[in-house]
Amino acid sequence: MKKTLISLILLSGCSSTGVDRSNQNEIQKEFYASIESVKPVQLSSEVVTGIVGGATVGVIDELDGNHEDMIAGGLAGAIVGGLFVALFEGSNQAFEYQLKSEREGKFTLIQKEKIDIKTGCVKVRVASKASLFPALKENCTVK
């Protein structure tokens, strides 16, 4: 037991804190933008598809049984399918940010996270996905 613990401690010292591997071969661009407006939006959901798919699998799994088994299998499959999709998707609440940048012009970004917009300025990071971060007002003023 002690040897295993010592080995794990030594191996953890060998890990590096370099650049995240998922950032390889990915262009990242950062710029500042002014917030023109923010409104809450509702994201679409695939829960109904999960319910229908789960019910179908449940019924098919019980085809060799009687009607009651097929109904029970369909109901169980619908519950499991719907719950699985709902857990995977998370909340349907998001925010639509109308933004304006000197370099990029006007554009819209939708994200789940609500950010602090007291300064009216955000840093936008665009890679395979775009993200917003609160920024100081001075970053958005024309220089």
Q: What is the pLDDT of residues 94-110, one digit of tens each?
A: 999 999 988 888 989 89
Find the helix or strand (DSSP H, E) in which 35 lies.
Answer: strand 29-42
Q: What is the pLDDT of residues 7-56, one digit of tens each?
A: 555 555 555 567 677 666 677 888 899 999 999 998 888 888 888 888 88
Indicate whether this model's pTM tops 0.75: no
Closest by CA position to 55, among listed 29, 74, 82, 32: 74
Contact 133, 32 (CB under 8 A): no
DSSP assigned state of 18: -
Largest pairwise CA distance in the chain: 76
Give the residue with greater pLDDT, 57 vs 17: 57
Q: What percentage of the chain carries pLDDT values higher than 90?
A: 10
Angle between the N-to-C axes of helices 67-89 and 47-61, in degrees from 0 to 180, rounded to the nearest 10: 150
